[in-house]
Amino acid sequence: MNALKIISLTATAFVACTAAPFAQASTEANAADPHVAMAQELQQKAAVANQKAAAHEVMARSGGSPKAATGGMGRHCEKLIAQYRAEAAKYSAQAAEHQQHAGAATLTREQHLALAEEFDAKAAAANEKVAAHEAMARASGSPKGSRQAMENHCDQLVSQYKAEAADYSAKAAEHRLAAK
């Protein structure tokens, strides 16, 4: 098994194991205060993004697959590291904002509609990432073997972004329903 596959499987297992307690806590808190639930969910997303950044830091140091083109995988990982670190910072800031609103009055119709628009925009951004990684998976790698590793990596990201888009679309629908 190459280093890229080992790192990918390890990061996936870690994220899956660490996400379960957050999901349960989020469900329990949602009944009491939706802001607490949202803050917990955003903290979980920040943790996941930080884990993905760390996994890509390891990949960047190792150069990815031994058969990968020199530097190409490292540059790709550096780009993803910056993206995941920015996502983690954004999620942490949003979590702090929701913590401030915990226990406050319910949202107005306009606030629900604004949140629905925000989640629609996030779903659209996630769908753009899906399209970009689907294109990369079809056009990536060298004929010497790194193509399969890159396709697997992109397929994993496509699945992640599709789930993210579906999650954001569901949240947008919830806020539209609450605005009625």
Helices within 33-107 (DSSP H only): 34-62, 72-101
Q: Judge contact between 125 and 161, C-beta under 8 A.
A: no
The Cα-based distances of 4 to 34, 63, 156 in angstroms read: 39, 9, 13
**Cβ–Cβ < 8 Å for 147, 81:** no
Of 92, 109, 2, 103, the closest CA to residue 53 belongs to 92
pLDDT in tens, the chain (180 residues): 455 454 554 455 444 444 444 444 444 444 457 778 888 888 899 899 888 888 888 877 776 555 555 566 677 778 888 888 888 888 888 888 777 777 666 778 888 888 889 889 988 988 898 888 888 777 755 455 567 777 777 888 888 888 888 888 888 888 888 878
Residue 102's alpha-carbon distances to 85, 105, 109, 118, in angstroms, are 26, 9, 18, 19
Is this model's pTM higher than 0.75 or not? no
CA–CA gap between residue 35 and residue 96 (Å, rounded)? 10
Spatial distance between the Cα atoms of 108 and 6, rounded to a whole number of angstroms: 48
